[in-house]
Structure 1
Amino acid sequence: MQTQEFKEIFGGFDPAEYSAEAQARWGESDAYAQSQERTARYGKADWQTIRTEMDALSARYLAAKSAGHPPASAEAQAIAADHCAHLERWFYDAPPQLLRGLAQMWVADERFRANIDRADEGLAAYQSAAMLAWANMGAHE
């Protein structure tokens, strides 16, 4: 897929800007290799589906947060389970240790936090807490 098409789907985001950083941070990991192999095959329709699913997950996290459901609630845990399934379907196997690191990155890295929090202040922290609870639950191991 062309860079311009990707940027259209993802609101101007260009992953090429971060490829060197991603390679340096995770290039030796199985998840990185798996993601690189999978995503290399994706066309525009695949990326549009991924974006639609991502937006739906974000909307569900926001609705759960807005309704006052704690991150460890059944409602939030169902979203985290679906989020994990999304990652595994499209990118890489997501064992609990990987999910913990990912969830922590959503709040520790300002770029991720700001992007997630565009929908609602504190959404990154809520999403992170929900995923950490899911990863720590152990039922999916």
Structure 2
Amino acid sequence: MKVNEVAKLVGISVRTLHHYDEIGLLIPDQLTESGYRIYSERNLEQLQQILFFRELGFPLKKIKEIVTSPDFNRLEALRLHEQMLLEKKKHIDMLLGTVAKTIQHAKGEVQMSHKEKFQGFDFSSNPYEQEARERWGDKAVDESNAKAKQMKKDGQMEKFQEDMNQLYAKLAELRHTDPASEDAQAAIGEWYRMLGQMGSYSPEAFKGLGQMYVDDQRFTKNIDKFGEGLAVFMRDAMAIYADGLQG
């Protein structure tokens, strides 16, 4: 198949396929004398794998590492996709239930507790652990993981998660105010202390984490579920708070 035929079949742009070729992620098996890319059945199978990984939030660099590895097993990868997508479906179903109940609550048909309003939002796990290791080192991440494991063992994780969701909601209410204001800085100070329960954050690391909330669209998407623009507000408030700690 030619590149425009593949693009039409899959629903992605020709430019995207060209980019995948240029970075060595998906190289067509044939190139005509005129320079046209020709995709084989094997290439289409590779593209399906790539798009599964993309759907699950993997960055292109990581996808390339996985699919070009000599140890890559397509069947094992498909089983992994199935498992991860089922987990994602379970999470989405829970969020849909929260949305449906919130609509009923807004119409006055049912009552909703504060806990129920945030059912399905889960920030206790870290799907970006490798990126965190690259940014802050193994020691900081291992320390955070150990604390999280101990909290689960002690039965404290659910309460911690509930407190975190409530603080997100509180920050969302402040997101249209000045991030340097007294109320905003007090709330972001709570955020700093809450993160401190999971690991040690230097002012520089705390500021860098806030920047990641905006630079990484996966973080932005999750945080902005509490209110559009919350990630940007938190980044700005965290930078101001970190500068104050260093000063």
Normalising by the residue count of structure 1, what TM-score does the alignment of the two structures yield? 0.77
1:105 aligned partner: 212
Q: Which runs of 5+ in 2 are unaligned?
A: 1-86, 95-118
2:162 aligned partner: 52
Matched, 1:118 2:228: no
Distance, in Å, in 1 between the alignment partners of 2:122 and 2:206 is 26
Describe the superposition over 1:2-61 as per-residue Cα deviations: whole angstroms up to 9, x where unpaired.
xx8xx7875477947545x34752573432121022112222732211211111111111
Check the 8 A contact 1:27/1:33 in 2, yes or no: no
Number of residue-to-residue matches in the alignment? 131
Question: 2:180 aligned to 72, 76, 87, which one?
Answer: 72
Q: CA RMSD in A?
A: 2.8
1:85 aligned partner: 193
Distance, in Å, in 1 between the alignment partners of 2:240 and 2:124 is 31
Question: 1:25 aligned to 104, 113, 134, which one?
Answer: 134
Paired residue type of 1:61: L
Question: 2:149 aligned to 25, 32, 40, which one?
Answer: 40
2:235 aligned partner: 128
Describe the superposition over 1:62-104 as per-residue Cα deviations: whole angstroms up to 9, x where unpaired.
1112xx4200111000011100100112x11122011011000
Higher normalized helix content (fraction of residues) = 1
Q: Which has the larger radius of gyration?
A: 2
Check the 8 A contact 1:71/1:126 in 2, yes or no: yes
Inter-CA distance 38–64: structure 2 relative to 1 (3 Å threshold): same
Distance, in Å, in 1 between the alignment partners of 2:124 and 2:188 is 26
Distance, in Å, in 1 between the alignment partners of 2:241 and 2:138 is 22
Inter-CA distance 25–38: structure 2 relative to 1 (3 Å threshold): same
Distance, in Å, in 1 between the alignment partners of 2:213 and 2:199 is 17
Check the 8 A contact 2:121/2:165 in 1, yes or no: no
Q: Which runs of 5+ in 1 are unaligned?
A: none
Distance, in Å, in 1 between the alignment partners of 2:122 and 2:193 is 26
Inter-CA distance 34–72: structure 2 relative to 1 (3 Å threshold): same
Distance, in Å, in 1 between the alignment partners of 2:205 and 2:181 is 21
Inter-CA distance 72–54: structure 2 relative to 1 (3 Å threshold): same
Distance, in Å, in 2 between the alignment partners of 1:69 and 1:27 is 31
